[in-house]
Structures are given as structure tokens and as C-alpha cells.
């Protein structure tokens, strides 16, 4: 039977220090995780291999992505890590709470845990793709934690034990992205998204993405929502014949 840990990818975005990547790989292997993915990393020098110690195999098979979107394309849930707290960053959970959701989700779904740049963390567009964020409680006077240490702490909390029952298998990301576009078009037709207000449109869609991202949608639920959107468009006289018909009895 496939181990749920095989569904968990640790994704490091634009790491600049090869040693950090090596140390992160070692931390992952210590806790039983093997899927390392890197987005536009600096060259992995001998320092990375030295810091990885006996986890060099994780470096050798790490997936390298040119773009952030490529790294999350096959993930059912994306979880960010951050030390920055703010209302516009969505739901932020202490790491002990966040891993409960992550473990339950990973039983039947691929998840990606994002770690940002050593100096700047995650960008707003990357945060916007996350179902929720996790933060590691630290001294407020000195909250910045080394990248590899962050990976170790999250991997430890994830690997300590499984929490509760697993969740069902959810729709894939490509279908979810199509749903977002369909909902956005429908909300515009309904007048819920104010015409010409790009800022409000972005805020509404980001909130919907976070809501769906952290809850997940089964295929049945996704078809139901597509069907609701299609029915609303039909009533408004804007049915798109090229779109999927969505839920049907």
C-alpha cells in the first residue's frame, strides 16, 4: 500500500544557498520524506552534497522546475510556510494545526509544501495559490528561521504521527483551475464582481481559491459547482455552449 508520505512534496522556491538545499534534503530523509522539488535553484555545488550527507539520493532525483506554476500543477493542495502575518494573506495556522490538515489530505491526494526564498520568502502570487499557510511560532524579536531548519521542523511535525481519518480523493488542479475561470465569469455576469474593479475582483477570486484550496473538492462537488454556474449563465442568457455542462442528476 502506498505510504501517504509519498504524496508530500517539499517545494523550495529559488534557493540561493546550495548548502541549505543539501541540509533540507537531509532533514526530509531523517523524517521519512523523499520528494524534493526545486524552483529555479542556484547550481547544486559540492556543498549541497556535503550538507546532504546520506541524503544525496534525494538531491539526485529532485525535480527541477523553471517556473513556480510547473511545481504546483499536479498538486491537489498547496500549503505555504511564512513568518509574515496579515489579513490579506489568508488563513494562517500554527504548524502543529496545519500538519493535521496536511496529513489527512495526503492520504489520497498530492500536496506541496512551499518554502520561500532565504531572503524574501514567498511572493504574493505564490501565497495566492495556497489553500492555507503555516507558521512556526518563534521569538517575535527574532522570528526568521533558517530554510533548512524550517524544513526540518515541518517534516518532524508531519512525520510524528498521522492525525484522524484520511480525506477522499479530490479533483485535479487542472479541473479546479477551469472551475475558477467559470466562477469568475459567472460572478461578473451576476454583478457580484463590480465592473472595472480589478482590485476587488482579485480579492474575491483569491478568497475563493483559498476556501476551495484548503477544503478540497471531489469530482462530484466540482461538477455540481460547474453545473450551478452553467445554470446561472443560462438563466441570464449567457450560456457558453463550449463549456462543460457540469452536474446532472
Q: What ranges do the domains of the chain cover?
A: 4-160, 173-235
Rounded CA gap, 148 and 69, in Å?
23
More confidently predicted of 166 and 233: 233
pLDDT tens digits along 94-142: 999 999 989 988 988 999 999 999 988 999 899 989 999 999 888 878 8
Tell me which residue of 95, 112, 140 sits closest to 12, measured CA to CA: 112
pLDDT tens digits along 11-70: 999 999 999 999 999 999 999 999 999 999 999 999 999 999 999 999 999 999 999 999
Are domains 4-160 and 173-235 of this chain identical in fold?
Answer: no
% pLDDT > 70, the chain: 90
Q: What is the average pLDDT score of the chain?
A: 87
For residues 145, 147, 151 and 156, what is the CA-based torsion angle, rounded to 10 degrees? -30
CA dist 57 to 23, 28, 129, Å?
Answer: 13, 12, 29
156-169 mean pLDDT: 71
User: Checking phi first, is residue 43 left (phi over 0); if not, alpha (psi -120 to 50) or beta?
Assistant: beta
Residue 153 confidence (pLDDT):
95
- C-alpha cell, 64: 527541477
- Residue 86's pLDDT band, with cuts at 50, 70 and 90, is low
Topology adopted by domain 173-235: Helicase, Ruva Protein; domain 3 (1.10.8)
- C-alpha cell, 190: 451576476
Decide yes or no: CATH 3.40.1280.10 for domain 4-160.
Answer: yes
More confidently predicted of 242 and 178: 178
pLDDT tens digits along 177-234: 899 999 999 998 898 888 878 888 888 998 888 888 877 788 889 899 999 999 998 8
More confidently predicted of 93 and 243: 93
Global pTM? 0.75
Backbone angles phi, psi at 130, to 5 degrees: -90, 135
Residue 242 confidence (pLDDT):
47
Amino acid at each position: 500500500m502506498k505510504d501517504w508520505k509519498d504524496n508530500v512534496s517539499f517545494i523550495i522556491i529559488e534557493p540561493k544557498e546550495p548548502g541549505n538545499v543539501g541540509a533540507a534534503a537531509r532533514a526530509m530523509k531523517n523524517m521519512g520524506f523523499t520528494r524534493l522539488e526545486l524552483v529555479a535553484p542556484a547550481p547544486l555545488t559540492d556543498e549541497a552534497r556535503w550538507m546532504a550527507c546520506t541524503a544525496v539520493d534525494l538531491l539526485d532525483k529532485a525535480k527541477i522546475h523553471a517556473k513556480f506554476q510547473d511545481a504546483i500543477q499536479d498538486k491537489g493542495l498547496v500549503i505555504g510556510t511564512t513568518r509574515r502575518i496579515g489579513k490579506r494573506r489568508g488563513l494562517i495556522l500554527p504548524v502543529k494545526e496545519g500538519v493535521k490538515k496536511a496529513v489527512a489530505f495526503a492520504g489520497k491526494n498530492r500536496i506541496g509544501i512551499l518554502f520561500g526564498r532565504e531572503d524574501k520568502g514567498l511572493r504574493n502570487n505564490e501565497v495566492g495559490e495556497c489553500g492555507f499557510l503555516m507558521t512556526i511560532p518563534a521569538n517575535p524579536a527574532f522570528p526568521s528561521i533558517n530554510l533548512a531548519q524550517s524544513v526540518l521542523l515541518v517534516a518532524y511535525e508531519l512525520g510524528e504521527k498521522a492525525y484522524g481519518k484520511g480525506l477522499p480523493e479530490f479533483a485535479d488542479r487542472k479541473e479546479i483551475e477551469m472551475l475558477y475561470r467559470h466562477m469568475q465569469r459567472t460572478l461578473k455576469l451576476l454583478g457580484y464582481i463590480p465592473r472595472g474593479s480589478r482590485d476587488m475582483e482579485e480579492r474575491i477570486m483569491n478568497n475563493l481559491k483559498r476556501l476551495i484550496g484548503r477544503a478540497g473538492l471531489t469530482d462530484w462537488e466540482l461538477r455540481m459547482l460547474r453545473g450551478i454556474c452553467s445554470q446561472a449563465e443560462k438563466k441570464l442568457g449567457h450560456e457558453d455552449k463550449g463549456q462543460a455542462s457540469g452536474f446532472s442528476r
